[in-house]
Structure 1
Amino acid sequence: MKKYGIELAMACLLLLSFYILSREAAQTAGNMSRSESSQVILVDAGHGGADPGMIGVGGLEEKGINLEIALKLKKVLEEKGFAVLMTREKDQGLYDEDSRNQKAQDMQRRIALIRENSPVLCVSIHQNSYQDPAVYGPQVFYYEDSAQGKTLAELIQTELNTRLEVKRPRSPKGNKTYYLLKRSESVLNIVECGFLTNQEEAGLLQQEEYQQKIAQAVAEGICTYLREDTFK
């Protein structure tokens, strides 16, 4: 009887130990999940300051629309629990006023921000243009040799095509010549939100509601990418 009591007590202790270890493991997993979601995402609002970017219908400048969408994206991502680093939050370039080549310095400093902060991924917000004013639609670019960049681009492109109800949806496109794509040490996508040379789309891109849809689409693509752990 005494032996049975000892065995019962040991069994209870083992069950208790298993319960405690299980709780600790669950807490550790939860902390890891929170840690991953707090990793830095870099949001780059293209151009700024003396560099207006693309000029669209009616003299519409790209830099302002880039910033408005980038700030909305920042807010959406932060609401989802991510830490967000912006390359700019106002109408300015990342160059010294007395620089001999402001454009080159601006691009170099954007890459330096990526290198110094090691974000889990980067998205650079831009607007497109084309000689044919009938061309329209969002287009996501990725570095051609980056499998992770391609996956992220596919997810963001799908969300943009769906949420913006694009009649002729585009596919993401690989590229080896764009400076940011070539130089970034982190996964980076360039998101061309639309064509400023298309009358209808240029009008939409100036609307706050449409900008918010773009921000939501990009954020959802990012979230899906991170949930799938494709960045590891």
Structure 2
Amino acid sequence: MKKNFIYILLIAFSLQLAFLPGCATVPKVAPHAISPALQDQIVKINNADYVPLIIVCDRFDYKWSWDTVARKAGIQNKNNYFRFSEGSRFALTGDKVVNMGFPAVIYRGALMVPVSFAQEKIAVQQDTVCHPVYSVKKDYLLRKVVVDAGHGGKDPGAIGRCGLLEKDVALDIAIRLADKLKKEGFDVYLTRSSDRFIALSKRVQIANDKSADFFVSIHVNAAKMKNAKGFEVYYLSEAADDAARKLAESENASLKFEEGSYQVNSSNNLQCILWDLVSTENRTESIQLAGYISDQARKRLWVRQRGVKSAGFYVLKGARMPAILVETGFITNLDEEAKLKRPDYRDAIADAIAKGILDYRQEYEKTEGFAR
């Protein structure tokens, strides 16, 4: 008992030292207003009371994760699940956006959240379990996938120099991929199985409605440079370079075919925040899935490997599960267009993607969701 008391004193003292300099002050708070577990950690920042999120996690048994690139944090215990973004007053809990009243801020190297939110939401022990946004099957089994064939109908996608259409290649590869995954025990849903137009927002909605374990969108690349070639896999994030940004703009151009298409504006800020938080939560798994597929493509396809990249593809936005977009080759390159016309090469592409998905599933299930 004495050792525990000394240990608590040492932690409190070290944290007080960390927060002494600067504009923040430690206010006096009525003992009955705040949980004793948080009371000694309150810091006033811009006239609002905050506590370090990592201390809240430690005292209420939450696991903590931090995305240094996106500047977002996630916490989870057996009952609760939250996602925070630096500078935003909104938090994601389950599949709902909650207004914390004040934004999450970085102070002295720690992410701070409003003490009222920590007290009323994070510290509350609920009887029902709040699961992550995407559905993880019992015993971490992955069995449900949505395969999306890009473009279709009035939207041809990219067009090759010899007239090959992206929409036709994407559909053929998607159907082949679906058949291979079904043979491996997956429940597979195609966003389209024929030459028809489907709005970009509708595609990911299908995946959400099916509670898919992951979403794979099949496309063919294009470029003004005739010698551009190769296979690459994308996950949703900010574009890392100009080439990725231009590619996203090209694929997102399908919005022009949609009547009354959904556009991001100030009236749907909450939806944008939800999308941002959800995509951040799934980003690690999306990168891993993309990596496994890229590795298999390197082994099985006789084409240049361009690796795993990020870009702001509209078709991936709003996905409540790991989601990737595969660019199977450059239709504007004469050599690759010729390959993409061949059924055996399309089958090899589908096989590489399927094998990558199987590798991901095996590792995910073996490590219980990459937890060990």
3-state SS, counterpart of residue 59 of structure 1: coil
1:178 to 313, 318, 321: 313
Taking a change above 3 Å as real, the CA distance of residues 140 and 231 of structure 1, as seen in their structure-2 partners, is: farther
- The answer to whether the Cα contact below 8 Å between 2:158 and 2:220 also exists between their aligned partners in 1 is yes
Hey, what's the Cα distance between the residues in 2 that align with 1:202 and 1:231? 41
1:36 to 141, 145, 162: 141
Give the superposition deviation at 1:118: 1.2
Give the superposition deviation at 1:162: 1.7
Residue aligning to 2:74: none
- The answer to whether the Cα contact below 8 Å between 2:201 and 2:314 also exists between their aligned partners in 1 is no
- The answer to whether the Cα contact below 8 Å between 1:119 and 1:186 also exists between their aligned partners in 2 is yes
- The answer to whether the Cα contact below 8 Å between 1:142 and 1:173 also exists between their aligned partners in 2 is yes
Gaps of 5+ in 2: 1-137, 238-279
Hey, what's the Cα distance between the residues in 1 that align with 2:219 and 2:174? 9
Residue type of the alignment partner of 1:149: S
Gaps of 5+ in 1: 1-31, 95-105
2:197 corresponds to 1:93: yes
1:70 to 156, 169, 174: 174
Residue aligning to 1:157: 294
Give the superposition deviation at 1:65: 0.5
Taking a change above 3 Å as real, the CA distance of residues 107 and 231 of structure 1, as seen in their structure-2 partners, is: farther
For residues 137-156 of structure 1, the aligned pairs below 5 Å read: 137-144=230-237, 145=280, 146-156=283-293
Hey, what's the Cα distance between the residues in 1 that align with 2:170 and 2:217? 9
2:162 corresponds to 1:58: yes
3-state SS, counterpart of residue 189 of structure 2: strand
2:343 corresponds to 1:208: yes
Worse overlay, 44-53 or 156-165:
156-165
Taking a change above 3 Å as real, the CA distance of residues 65 and 231 of structure 1, as seen in their structure-2 partners, is: farther
Worse overlay, 143-152 or 186-195:
143-152
3-state SS, counterpart of residue 217 of structure 2: strand
Give the superposition deviation at 1:182: 2.5
Give the superposition deviation at 1:186: 1.3
- The answer to whether the Cα contact below 8 Å between 1:143 and 1:150 also exists between their aligned partners in 2 is no
CA RMSD of aligned residues (A): 1.7
Taking a change above 3 Å as real, the CA distance of residues 113 and 136 of structure 1, as seen in their structure-2 partners, is: same
Per-residue deviation, residues 130-171 of structure 1 (Å, max 9, x unmatched) = 0111111111001234011000111101111221133x4211
- The answer to whether the Cα contact below 8 Å between 1:40 and 1:120 also exists between their aligned partners in 2 is yes
Hey, what's the Cα distance between the residues in 2 that align with 1:49 and 1:93? 4
Moved over 4 A (4+): none
Hey, what's the Cα distance between the residues in 2 that align with 1:36 and 1:82? 10
Hey, what's the Cα distance between the residues in 1 that align with 2:305 and 2:314? 26
Give the superposition deviation at 1:231: 8.2
Per-residue deviation, residues 95-118 of structure 1 (Å, max 9, x unmatched) = xxxxxxxxxxx1121121111111
3-state SS, counterpart of residue 233 of structure 2: strand
Residue type of the alignment partner of 2:218: I
Residue type of the alignment partner of 1:220: K
1:47 to 151, 168, 184: 151
3-state SS, counterpart of residue 307 of structure 2: coil
Taking a change above 3 Å as real, the CA distance of residues 200 and 117 of structure 1, as seen in their structure-2 partners, is: same
- The answer to whether the Cα contact below 8 Å between 2:204 and 2:316 also exists between their aligned partners in 1 is no
**TM-score relative to the length of structure 2:** 0.48
Hey, what's the Cα distance between the residues in 2 that align with 1:161 and 1:130? 21
Residue aligning to 1:26: none
Instruction: Number of aligned residue pairs: give it.
Output: 186
Hey, what's the Cα distance between the residues in 1 that align with 2:231 and 2:169? 14
**TM-score relative to the length of structure 1:** 0.76
* Structure with greater strand percent: 2
* Structure with greater helix percent: 1
Taking a change above 3 Å as real, the CA distance of residues 231 and 136 of structure 1, as seen in their structure-2 partners, is: farther
Hey, what's the Cα distance between the residues in 1 that align with 2:166 and 2:368? 30
